Amino acid sequence: MMVIRPIHSDDYDELYALAEKTGAGFTSLQPNEGQVRGKIYSSLEAFEKVVTTPGEETYLFVLEDTENGRVAGICGIEAAVGLSQPWYNYRVGTLVHSSRQLGVHNAVRTLTLSNDHTGYSEVCTLFLDPDYRHSKNGSLLSKSRFMFLAEFPKRFSTHIIAEMRGYSDENGHSPFWEGLGRHFFSMDFADAVYMAGLGDKTFIAELMPRHPIYTNMLPKESQEVIGKVHDNTLPARMMLESEGFRNEGYVDIFDAGPTIETRVMDIRAVRESHYAKVNISDAPEGGETYLMSNTDLKNFRCTLVELSGDHNVVDINPETAAALQVEEGDAVRVVRLSSKLRR
């Protein structure tokens, strides 16, 4: 059975193994001992913290295969970005140059350095082991975070973003970086991503261009990937957009991947989720696929179940109850895995 739970201190070896599979461009999880241990420590600290307003807490969750104890994936939520270090991206805009006398009217796309998302929450660090990319595991991993957001709203901002990994080829070559970033940073794409992933972002503030960039002055291959996601990231983008995230015209400063956003309460799974009472039964589960989570902060659990009938009382088997750490009569949060229109 697959279940989502908060990351534990003894997950280091498995998390590092996942980091070795992420590849270039995945800034939030790199195969570096300091970064991996730091992420685990920060998450443990966040779950213990008494929170009245969102700060720099990082909540990390893993997807565990209960049959063998293997960690099959990771996902996270940042409570508020850009509070102690500036949060950078490019805002995509338009400048019009016209001359009535010459009969010229040109609309030019621009990239302007922005900190517009300061204080927003962020869904982040989503990675699923290739061996487990089946059986709706990706949907469980990604959407379980919405159950946590719905259960503990005071720990997060009213608005949330997701940075999508931008396009790079099978060799880690980023056309956008080669056409723009390299001219200012004088380093390889992988090195810049690695430094940013470790939290060393001072170099960004020191070296980034401060004036708008005219995209028509970039190489054609750089222009073509602005707002384009990595092939492996396309399913994640489609999933988030089905839940209500939208592209409002922001892209990453390294690879030009899109930053999509929404209000937390506009996320479909948050808005439609509701409480139900547990009835533990040996009867086989059946019906539509739902997300189900408990209501415990430190021992948060989420999994997929099949439900039919009255959802004010839900029948689950003992295995599901054990995975969610709930007992007869406990309250759980439930929501369809996908909207009715996408069944």
Q: How far apart are CA 30 and CA 16, in angstroms?
A: 8
Looking at CATH, the fold of the domain delimited by 273-342 is given as Barwin-like endoglucanases (2.40.40)
As a residue count, the chain comes to 343
| Three-class DSSP category at 298 | coil
Q: Which residues pair with 99 in a beta bridge?
A: 104
Q: Would you state the structure tokens that stand for residue 65, as one six-digit string?
A: 């295969």
Q: What is the pLDDT of residue 74?
A: 96
Domain ranges (residues) in the chain: 2-90+114-269, 273-342
List per-residue pLDDT tens for the chain, 343 residues long: 999 999 999 999 999 999 999 876 677 888 889 889 999 999 999 999 999 999 999 999 999 999 999 999 999 999 999 998 889 999 999 998 877 888 888 899 999 999 999 999 999 999 999 999 999 999 999 999 999 999 999 999 999 999 999 999 888 899 999 999 999 888 888 888 777 776 666 677 677 888 899 999 999 999 999 999 999 889 999 999 999 999 999 999 999 999 999 999 999 999 999 999 999 998 777 789 999 999 999 999 999 999 986 678 999 999 999 999 999 999 999 999 998 755 4
Q: Which residues pair with 250 in a beta bridge?
A: 91, 259
pTM, 2 dp? 0.91
Q: How far apart are CA 126 and CA 57, in angstroms?
A: 17
Beta 89-99 vs 246-251: how paired, if at all? Answer: antiparallel
Show the 3-state SS of 215-253: HHHCCHHHHHCCCCECHHHHHHHHHHHHCCCEEEEEECC
Alpha helices in the chain (DSSP H): 12-19, 33-48, 137-151, 175-176, 182-185, 189-197, 202-207, 220-224, 234-242, 268-272, 318-324
The answer to whether domain 2-90+114-269 has CATH 3.30.1950.10 is no
Report yes or no: 325 and 3 within 8 Å, Cβ to Cβ: no
Which residue in the block uniquely carries the two structure tokens 């086989």? 284
Catalytic, out of 117, 134, 211, 230: 230
Concerning whether 230 is annotated as a catalytic residue, the answer is yes
